[in-house]
Amino acid sequence: MTFPGSSGAGFQASNSTSHFIRYCVVSALCLWLTGCAQLVAFKINDHIKPRSSTQDEGELLQANHYRHCLEPGSCISYWHIQPTDEPIDYTFKLTVQTPTDAWSMTTNLSTDDQNLFQGTMLILPCYSCTKETMGWHAAYFRHLGFNVLLPDLLGHGDSSPGLGFGIKDAQLLEQIIHKHHELPKPLLVTALSMGAYTAAHLQHQLDVDGMIWIAPSVQFDDAVSLYPQLSGSRWHRLIPATSLRKGAELALKKANITLAQTNLLDYPPLSRSLVLLSDHDLIAPYDHYLAWSELPHIDLFNLTEYQHFLMMAITPDKHEMIFSWLKQLAPLAAQTAHAVEQNESD
């Protein structure tokens, strides 16, 4: 079974006319909204629709679809995906297209890796990612034997409009975990980019046995101000950095959230954790979190030369790191040894 994925790096205007049109559009919108900061805040809070796909990932993964509401207008849509005993070989193929180059890498999972673990994995998506775009992560952890919970965070997919920036999502997700009281232990969390905001606040409401943070985002205004460099978009760079930062603050203010609540340096992982970073990632630079390497319960790794978009993918080296870390995690170590013994006896 193959789960294809793609990541684009940068945008390229077709000609000077296109650049001029984009400049005019941005300028006009900034004037119309009485400033670029309001435009930035408006775009940040724009509801992110589910990705259109010719193949229903939820059906492919045999996902049960649920919706949980804290109150009217504050609902999270999510999948619950259970492991399968049907022998499956998975191939995860990532294709990267840049203005000057194109290449791909493949991660293979065999039946030898299947159902080595037990437990529940809650996956917390990155900004602009929905259940559908995170389908390959769900397939990955299901293959390893986990029950998977995969939500659309607020402002995304089938969940309620209006970003929760992790803080509002945490309360809903805590209720969802308790609602599924039959979920097997241990409870693990995988968070990607801004999904780490959610994990950081959720860990104060739940007993989490372990966490995997992949490219956890810097403070929100810093992340927004760096985005034009990340995207490579020339028309994004027309917006002043001060407007990007102010727009980020306005978006948070609309959700009654402070910048300090998105500063992960003040909310480090509390349980045994694997943190994957890159010194080439502007949004989650390795040096920014280097002090965490002094904490005995955190395993911090630098995947050199990976940009932020590529950090979101399950590449062969990330698979090896995640797989090795899971085998050493105390609640799972005995399970792994037992599974290996069974495989050898068979």
| Three-state secondary structure call for residue 103 | strand
State the pLDDT at residue 104: 78
* Cα–Cα distance, 2 to 74 (Å, whole number): 35
Locus of tokens 């970073």: 277
C-alpha 45: how far from its chain's center? Answer: 17
Encoding tokens for residue 88?
A: 């499956």
* Cα–Cα distance, 72 to 177 (Å, whole number): 20
State the pLDDT at residue 246: 94
H-helix or E-strand spanning residue 75: strand 74-81
Is the distance from CB of 248 to CB of 218 less than 8 angstroms? no
The residues near 201 (Cβ < 8 Å, ≥ 6 apart) are 166, 167, 170, 261, 267
CA angle 126, 206, 83 (to 5 degrees): 65
Domain ranges across the chain:
2-9+57-220+259-345
Locus of tokens 């849509």: 77
State the pLDDT at residue 56: 73
State the pLDDT at residue 237: 62
State the pLDDT at residue 30: 52
> How does pLDDT run along the chain (346 residues), one tens digit per residue?
444 443 333 323 344 445 444 545 555 555 444 478 888 888 888 878 776 554 577 788 889 999 999 888 899 999 999 998 888 887 877 776 655 566 678 888 888 889 999 999 999 999 989 998 898 899 999 999 999 999 999 999 999 999 999 889 999 999 999 887 688 999 999 999 999 999 999 999 999 999 999 999 999 999 999 987 776 655 566 778 888 999 999 999 999 999 999 999 999 999 999 999 999 999 999 999 999 999 999 999 999 988 898 899 899 999 999 999 999 987 776 565 555 455 555 5
Q: Where are the alpha helices (DSSP H) in the chain?
A: 16-32, 36-44, 57-60, 135-143, 167-179, 195-202, 220-231, 241-254, 308-311, 316-328, 330-345
Q: Which CATH number fits domain 2-9+57-220+259-345: 3.20.20.30, 3.40.50.1820, 1.10.10.10, 3.40.50.300?
A: 3.40.50.1820
Is the distance from CB of 112 to CB of 343 less than 8 angstroms? yes
pTM of this structure? 0.85
State the pLDDT at residue 145: 95
β-bridge mates for residue 299, sequence order: 274
DSSP 340: H
Is the distance from CB of 268 to CB of 298 less than 8 angstroms? yes
State the pLDDT at residue 338: 52
Is the distance from CB of 210 to CB of 141 less than 8 angstroms? no
